[in-house]
Amino acid sequence: MLAESLALTAALFIIGVVGVLIHRNAIIIFMCVELMLTAVNLTFVAFSRFYGTAGQVFVVFVMTVSAAEAAVGLAIIIAIFRHRQTINLKDINLLKG
């Protein structure tokens, strides 16, 4: 039962990672990051079923933080779009050596 759960979460996580790597659009990358977080949350839940409820507590923490992160992240993306009229990460590369 645990093995199947972990396989599912791993698949979800990898989909998220690949999405972050291959997409240019900041919103999509943002959604992929959320997907990775969700995959991790699911892992916690799966583990909590077998090893006690501590995992569920972490899930609540992660969801709280990711909500805050979403608020900040979306605000930044909107600010960037207002400034540059694009959210394509290829074009946002001013900070370089």
Q: Which residues bind other proteins (CB under 8 A)?
A: 17, 20-21, 24, 89-90, 92-97
According to DSSP, residue 82 is labeled H
CB closer to other proteins out of 59 and 89: 89
The residue (of 82 and 97) whose beta carbon lies closer to other proteins is 97
**Least distance (Å) from other proteins to the CB of residue 53?**
28
User: Smallest distance, Å, CB 76 to other proteins?
Assistant: 12
Angle (CA) 2 18 96, round 5°: 135
Q: Which CB atom, from 24 or from 49, has the smaller least distance to other proteins?
A: 24
Q: In whole angstroms, give the CA distance from residue 34 to residue 37.
A: 5
**From the CB of residue 74, how many other CB atoms can be counted at a distance below 10 Å?**
13
